[in-house]
Amino acid sequence: MRAVVQRVTESRVTVDEKITGEIGKGLMVLIGVQDGDDEQDAAYIADKVSGLRIFEDEEGKLNLSVKDIGGSVLAVSQFTLLGDARKGRRPGFSRAARPEEANRLYRKVIEAIEAQDIHVEEGVFRAEMMVEIHNDGPVTILLDSHREF
């Protein structure tokens, strides 16, 4: 499972010109589920997102988590994170999980983050979405439950 985590001042997702998820200060998290991922992968990503210390403390050091600052998470499923563009110019998506399994594990990530008393907003699974991200810093962290990077 992969995730792109961005520290944001605000972020929103729009589907068919309707806002489906919106947060102020917090984390925008794009989540891609790989074929073969399981609950352990979901727990790993949720734990990392919940505890990632990428917000500044009173001394200006990246020492606080989204929970520490009372922030929120905007989660969006994005199978293209599993795109493989090593050959040619058209990425292949054979490593992405089937939609039913991807949605199940995506939901597990959200539930596990919410269990940490962190408010989570969402995009719409498998929908065409417009995502607005006001990346703060910019701070962007890549996570991979298989530790490929």
Catalytic residues: 80
Query: What sign for the dihedral angle of Cα 60, 66, 71, 73?
Result: positive
Three-class secondary structure of residue 53 per DSSP? coil
- Of 79, 67, 75, 81, give the one whose Cα is nearest residue 118: 67
- The residues with which 43 forms a beta bridge, in sequence order, are none
The CA-based angle 111-66-5, given to 5 degrees, is 75
How far is residue 130's CA from residue 43's CA, in Å, rounded to a whole number? 27
